[in-house]
Amino acid sequence: MGHINVIGSSMAEAEAKLKYIIGEETNLPSEVEKSKEKPLVSIIMGSDSDLPVMAVGADILKKFGVPFELTIVSAHRTPHRMSKFAIEAASRGIKAVIAGAGGAAHLPGMVAAMTPLPVIGVPVKGSTLDGVDSLHSIVQMPRGIPVATVAINNSTNAALLAIRILGAHDYKWLDAMSQYMNNMEEEVLTKAERLEGVGYENY
């Protein structure tokens, strides 16, 4: 009796290869890869009312060409779905989770408690307390369960942080982030030069 080793960059990839070997999948894993890139970043939110805020971060990931997924996972209304998502995220090849929530914003912290992946919390401004309640809910995590928290409604920084996390393992994203930072610097220097040249009255 012999044995074979199935190797993949993630559990999901290894499972896809195994299914092809045993005949459950007719497409080669490489063909599956070409048809749809596996997400590296997962954007989740507690409600569809959070979408206008979280969509901004999704646009940043899209601009950088980062494969991502986006869905609703409520810590309070769908606790079993949240648990399943958090437990399975790493095995699906996800490298970072961006979780947005408002009010009693427990989603980022609860997901962080059930996954070894880095979780970035986005406090979403609600109809009361200007989002400070969300900020405090996310940022005040107990020792041992870290959640990286960005500013209220700032899914842009959440996406940029996720890209930096990817860059720690893949120079492709590190180079993309370096270029992004260079572009920001050039934009500010151009504005400064123009302001100094024409004066504030004519700017």
CA dist 165 and 118 (Å) reads 8
Predicted TM-score of the model (pTM): 0.81
What is the 8-class DSSP label of residue 116?
Answer: S
Q: What is the CATH architecture of 39-190?
A: 3-Layer(aba) Sandwich (3.40)
Instruction: Pick the more confident residue, 148 or 32.
Output: 148
Grouping H, G, I as helix, E, B as strand and the rest as coil, residue 36 is coil
pLDDT at 23 over 90: no
pLDDT at 155 over 50: yes
pLDDT at 199 over 70: yes
Do the beta carbons of residue 38 and residue 67 sit within 8 Å? yes
CA dist 64 and 163 (Å) reads 8
Q: Enumerate the domain spans of the chain.
A: 1-36, 39-190
Average pLDDT, the chain: 90
- Cross-strand pairs, 74: none
CA dist 100 and 121 (Å) reads 6
Residue spans of beta strands (DSSP E) within the chain = 41-45, 68-72, 96-102, 119-124, 148-149
CA dist 37 and 95 (Å) reads 14
pLDDT at 35 over 80: no
pLDDT score at 195? 97
pLDDT tens profile 41-50: 999 999 999 9
Instruction: Pick the more confident residue, 10 or 139.
Output: 139
Q: Where are the alpha helices (DSSP H) in 11-123?
A: 11-21, 29-35, 51-64, 79-88, 107-114
pLDDT score at 37? 87
